[in-house]
């Protein structure tokens, strides 16, 4: 009976973990992982992770504690996968007209490593519930619950949660380019000035509070905004044209962010929506609330 029970637990654990990985795997506007080869790699890793989590329960029940040590080997393998993802995306980023940036790449690599651990956890809990309650349908319910919760684990904050995003006029004074009153850069050639005013879109990002001011000031976060817009709407530039480069610069007085976009498709409303929905990078998040109370009050009042 124990053999059949453990077999049932492993089967349901592997199934729950693998389906959870499928649920968390998607190709979006960033086109990563690519279809189908990227999917095959990550689904294979998900299946291995699910098997590790499901088999761990029978090993514990049989007091075979040495068998659990293979989980440490799996953790090392998943860290190697993260390094592999980072290296590959860094190499590809060199060929982008508007690169992702190191912070964005590190975030993507971290997500794929973390999701394998979630798969192990899902398979382990499902397998454990089958063994404890001696019914496969309990495991099925636990698996469905984890599958539902995995959707929340895929979500995070976006720019609109921490800042106001609006269209702002582009203007040129002499050779200087401004988004509203924020200076961006100096443009020498008259032809480049004309093309920027014709094809460019000005965006103003105003932080809601002090912590948001620090986040949007992060260079990696700014590059993520420029990359996402250029990925979806295209970019009006080619190699060898440094003046036609999307750019984001801060107002040093109040922390507002002025953005110059040069989309191939000049759709102002869509550009604003894209900027609003750019994910906030984990490496750009700061938490002034962790400061001592007196310092925090002084910080929030600025």
pLDDT in tens, 198-245: 889 999 999 988 888 888 888 999 999 999 999 888 888 888 777 888
Model confidence pLDDT, tens digit, residues 145-183: 888 887 776 677 888 988 899 999 999 888 888 998 899
**Following CA atoms 187, 190, 193, 194 in sequence, which dihedral angle do they give, to the nearest 10 degrees?**
-170
Least confident of 89-98, 227-236, 283-292: 283-292
At residue 140 the predicted structure's pLDDT band, cuts being 50, 70 and 90, is confident
State the pairing for strand pair 247-250/182-186. unpaired
The domains of the chain are located at: 5-155, 160-288
User: Does residue 203 contact residue 278 with C-beta atoms inside 8 Å?
Assistant: no
Q: How long is the chain? A: 302
Read off the tokens for 43: 């689904």
- Over 90: is that where the pLDDT of 255 sits? no
Q: What is the CA radius of gyration of the chain?
A: 24
Position 1 scores a pLDDT of 43
Measured at the alpha carbon of residue 148, what is the angle toward residues 147 and 154, in degrees to the nearest 5?
Answer: 85
Position 292 scores a pLDDT of 60
pTM for the whole thing?
A: 0.81
117, with CB counted inside 10 A (0-12, 13-18, 19+), is: middle
Tally helices (H) and strands (E) across the chain: 11, 7
What's the rounded mean pLDDT across residues 270-290? Answer: 81
């Amino acid at each position: 009976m124990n053999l059949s029970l453990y077999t049932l637990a492993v089967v349901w654990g592997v199934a729950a973990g693998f389906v959870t990985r499928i649920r968390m795997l998607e190709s979006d506007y960033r086109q990563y992982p690519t279809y189908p080869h990227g999917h095959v790699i990550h689904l294979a890793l998900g299946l291995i992770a699910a098997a590790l989590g499901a088999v761990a329960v029978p090993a514990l029940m049989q007091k075979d504690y040495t068998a659990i040590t293979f989980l440490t080997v799996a953790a090392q393998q998943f860290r190697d996968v993260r390094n592999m993802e980072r290296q590959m995306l860094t190499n590809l980023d060199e060929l982008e007209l508007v690169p992702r940036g190191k912070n964005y790449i590190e975030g993507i690599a971290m997500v794929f490593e973390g999701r394998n651990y979630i798969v192990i956890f899902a398979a382990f809990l499902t397998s454990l519930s089958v063994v404890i309650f001696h019914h496969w349908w309990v495991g099925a319910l636990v698996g469905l619950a984890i599958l539902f919760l995995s959707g929340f684990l895929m979500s995070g904050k976006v720019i609109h949660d921490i800042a106001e995003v609006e269209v702002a006029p582009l203007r040129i004074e002499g050779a200087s380019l401004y988004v509203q009153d924020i200076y961006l850069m100096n443009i020498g050639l008259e032809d480049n000035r004309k093309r920027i005013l014709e094809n460019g879109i000005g965006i103003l990002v105003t932080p809601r509070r002090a912590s948001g001011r620090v986040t949007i000031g992060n260079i990696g976060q700014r590059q993520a905004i420029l990359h996402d817009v250029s990925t979806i709407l295209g970019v009006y530039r080619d190699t060898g044209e440094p003046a036609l480069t999307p750019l984001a610069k801060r107002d040093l007085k109040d922390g507002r962010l002025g953005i110059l976009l040069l989309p191939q498709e000049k759709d102002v409303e869509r550009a604003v929506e894209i900027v609003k929905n750019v994910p906030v990078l984990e490496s750009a998040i700061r938490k002034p609330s962790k400061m001592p109370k007196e310092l925090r009050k002084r910080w929030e009042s600025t």
